[in-house]
Each structure stands twice: as C-alpha cells, then as structure tokens.
Amino acid sequence: MSVVLPLGISFFTFQQIAFLVDAYRGRASENSLLDYSIFVAFFPQLIAGPIVHHKEMMPQFAQSALQGPNLDNIAKGAFIFAIGFWKKVAVADTLSLWVVQGFGNAQSLNFIEAWTTALAYTFQIYFDFSGYADMAIGAALMFNIALPINFFSPYKAQSIRDFWQRWHISLSNFLRDYVYIPLGGNANGPPRVYLNLAATFLIGGLWHGAGWTFIIWGALHGAAMVFHRIWSLHGLRLPSTLAWATTFLFVVVTWVFFRADTLADALAILRAMIGLNGIVLPPQLAPLLGNLSVFDVRFSTYWFTKIDWESVKYAFALIPCLLIFVTVFRNSVELAERFAFSWRTGLLTAAGYSLGFALVYRGGEFIYYQF
C-alpha cells in the first residue's frame, strides 16, 4: 500500500523513543510540557535530523544568555547553511538527473551506465543528506543552539567501522545506545557480539524501510562489521590506500540495494557493474584498449543506450571531481571550526546563497523524505 507518512517521522520518533527510555531509566528529569514541546518540535532538525538527544538540547534551551541575538553565531550559522544549500541544490540535484534515469532503466544498463549510476547515487545521497544536516546546524546556530555533528567525511573512511563513525553519526549513536548495548553490546563473548552487531544493522536497515532492499543493505553492513571485528581481533591490516578503496567500493555496491526500487532492479544493476550486460566503450578508446574485444568489449558511438546523454553529461563530468573533493578537501565541520567573519567569508556565503537560489528552480527530490 502507498501510505503517506508525516515528513521525517522516523527522526522525531527516534528522538522521543530516546527521551522515553531515558525517563524510564531515571536519566531524564524534565517534566514541563513546554520544554518537551520545544525539544521535539525545534524546526531546523525536525524533518531530516540530526537525531538530537534531550541531554544535548534541554540545557541549551534553558540558558537565558542564549535567548538574544548573537551576531557571531548568526554569521557562522549563515555560512554553514550556505554550504549545505550549495551541496543540496548545486550538487545533489544535478546528480539526481542521472540517478533517476539510471535506476529507472535498471534492467537494461550497460557497464559504464551502471557504474556511473551507482557512483552518482553514492555522491547524491551524501551531498543531499549532509547538505540538509549542514542547513539544520546552520539554522539552529542562528538561534544560538548547537546541534551535534552528523557527517564527518565518511568517504575518507578506511574501514566499515570508520565509515559508520563518520556517516549519519546521530543514527549510529542511537543504534549503539538503544539497540546494541541493550542487546548485550561487547559482553558475553565473540559469538554474541557478532549476533548483536548483525541484529543492530538489520534494525538500522528496517528503520529506512520495510523492504527486502533495505533488509539486505542492513544485513550486508552488519556482515561487514562482523568481518571487520574478526579481522581486527587477529591484528590484520591493509595498506591505507587499499583499505580506503575496499571500503569505498563496498559502500558504493551496497548503496545500489538502498536506492533500487526492487530487489530485481538492484541485482540487474550489479550484474551490469560486473559486465554481464555487455561492456560498451567510446570509440576514442579503441586504439588503446582494442585488445579487450576478445573479452566481448565493444566500441561504439552509442555507448550510452538507455540514458539521455545531453541531460546527464554534466553529472558524468562531475563525478571524478566529487571523488577528489570528498577525499582531499576539508568538510563543512572543519570549515566551520576555522570560520572567522571577514569580507572573504562574507563573499563565499553570498556566493553559496546566490548559486543555490539560481539553481533551485530546477526542483529536485528530497531523497530522505520517506525515512
């Protein structure tokens, strides 16, 4: 059934579950309906997170010194908001042109189309979701409220554990505190620890949606966490570059399950990614790679068959640049830590808003609306 749910229902549901559990355990003493309402309905993070904890928020709401305007916080908040606005509108919505077409033709993509579709979604979901987190953090700071960090360069991770310490941090913390630890956490021996890890990530998958694609996505990340724990217990390590490449490749592949409309579509894209739907390369590469024809690699002007090249050529060119951007440059948290109001930061902030407003007319999908 197609059920329309309130926007961001899972975010504020988790927030209230945490409050109720802590109240039951005697860790939350707030009993004012007004205070509770402010905590739950604080609009910057209401629909897209981060998932805030009452112990992080309630003391801030109670500080009278924070209830008046603070020009430094307004300037810094506007700067962070501009970064998030640029991420969402200029980057994520540009990539969505490819993602929608790619996953809409999942059953008939070729090798390059499948990989570009998977990589485009890998960057779309990061810039979309972290962009919303930046906008939430920036908007809250304008009201003198500091929200917790939710992303910290996840695509720089060199292990799956490292990835989940950088990606959607507030969800990871919630699952750790209210699922993993109550299940037993690290106690009761390795087999129970592995079971707890797997169960926690299965629940994390179900949080995103009650479908096989989300269940498999959660199960794969749970299995990877178990494997990483066993690997680490034996003192094994990969060279840093190989560790990063392995982690990034795993995340890209699992995002296919996360985004695909059906399990059949996800499997079709993965088949294409390993060349089972045929490999078609542009004819300009024939002089260099002509010998690959013995492996059924073809060279054709029509190397894009199911995707409208004109509508996605910019997204195609953007992907290599974004890979460098997310693995080399500072993230928004690091930029915010170094922020000092000046003409330079003022111009950068203005440029972020101008670019965002110039491109927002195109529209775009809010890819976390259903969670």
Question: Would you please indicate which residues are annotated as catalytic (active-site) residues?
Answer: 208
CA nearest neighbour of 331 among 144, 87, 141? 87
Element (H, E) at 297: strand 297-299
Give the list of residues 6+ apart from residue 253 with CB closer than 8 angstroms, or none.
118, 270, 273
Q: Report helix, strand or coil for 214.
A: helix
The C-alpha atoms of residue 247 and residue 159 are separated, in whole angstroms, by 6
Q: Report helix, strand or coil for 193.
A: helix
Give the list of residues 6+ apart from residue 14 with CB closer than 8 angstroms, or none.
51, 171, 174, 207
Contact yes or no for 73/142 (Cβ under 8 A): yes
What is the number of other CB atoms lying within 10 angstroms of the CB of residue 99? 25
CA nearest neighbour of 252 among 88, 124, 95? 124
Dihedral in degrees, nearest 10, Cα atoms 67, 72, 78, 83: -130
The C-alpha atoms of residue 99 and residue 103 are separated, in whole angstroms, by 6
CA nearest neighbour of 108 among 300, 245, 244, 307? 307
State how far the alpha carbon of 205 is from the alpha carbons of 1, 74, 132, 217, 307, in Å.
20, 37, 21, 6, 30
Q: Report helix, strand or coil for 241.
A: helix
